[in-house]
Amino acid sequence: DTGVSQNPRHKITKRGQNVTFRCDPISEHNRLYWYRQTLGQGPEFLTYFQNEAQLEKSRLLSDRFSAERPKGSFSTLEIQRTEQGDSAMYLCASSRTEDTQYFGPGTRLTVL
Amino acid sequence: KNQVEQSPQSLIILEGKNCTLQCNYTVSPFSNLRWYKQDTGRGPVSLTIMTFSENTKSNGRYTATLDADTKQSSLHITASQLSDSASYICVVPPSGGYQKVTFGTGTKLQVIP
């Protein structure tokens, strides 16, 4: 399967700890997106990369959040000093230019 | 404020029956409208993308319509199957960039035997 993959699928952490998620997009896709989804809500845009450049960043992305895509391939999303309100599903998607975004399975974060 | 509203919030139908989901939007300027299917615990999967000039687009048993004048879209599912049970999310990304991408809260569909 050459779809978008995300790791880990589930993460449970204590408040105040740092966590890092990884996303591997479809190989020929140069665009990569991060979203956050809470129960019963639609995904909320967090940030967007074109190749290795982070082109857009939502106001939802506080200074505790940082995303990277160092070589224009995989991406990481780090949350520092996690809070209970960070508990959510973190979705990654990739696309080729303006084409359909293909989503990964998501990483479910639970902050205790 | 740009908004996307979907109705109904949830729906239960018998296997084999048809159903129609609605999406109203106020996003401006308008780029395109996308319907996604999201199974519980999984990422969304694209069903269809409609541009301003398209009125109808089909993908198997799924048919989406768009009325750009009234800013309404519908997703019609024909001969429903148990595997259609999922949330259906309407997405309207404006031409101004993903900073403002708006996802609807979705319609949760349950197909029962």
Q: With CB atoms and an 8 Å threshold, state whether B43 touches A91.
A: yes
Tell me if chain A has a CB within 8 Å of the CB of B99: yes
Alpha carbon distance A16, A64 (integer Å):
11
Cβ distance A104 to B91 less than 8 Å, yes or no, reads no
Give how far the C-alpha of residue A14 lies from the chain's centroid of Cα atoms, to the nearest Å: 20
Q: What is the pLDDT of residue B98?
A: 60
Pairing state between β B86-92 and B32-38: antiparallel
* CA-closest candidate to residue B44, choices B87, B79, B76: B87
CA A43 to chain centre: 11
* Interval B71-88: pLDDT, tens: 999 999 999 999 999 999
Window 20-39 of B, Cβ < 8 Å to A: 34, 36
When the pLDDT of each residue in chain A is averaged and rounded to a whole number, the result is: 91
Q: Which amino acid, one-letter code, is at B25?
A: Y
pLDDT at B62 over 80: yes
Residue A110 contacts residue B52 (beta carbons within 8 Å): no
- For the record, the structure tokens of A108 come out as 């479910």
pLDDT over 90 (residue B17): yes
Q: Tell me the pLDDT tens digit for each residue of A51-88.
A: 999 988 888 788 999 999 998 899 999 999 999 999 99
Cβ A58 vs Cβ A75: under 8 Å:
no
| Rounded Cα distance, B107 and B83, in Å | 15
Q: Is A98 exposed, middle or buried (0-12, 13-18, 19+ CB in 10 A)?
A: exposed
Backbone angles phi, psi at B100, to 5 degrees: -110, 15
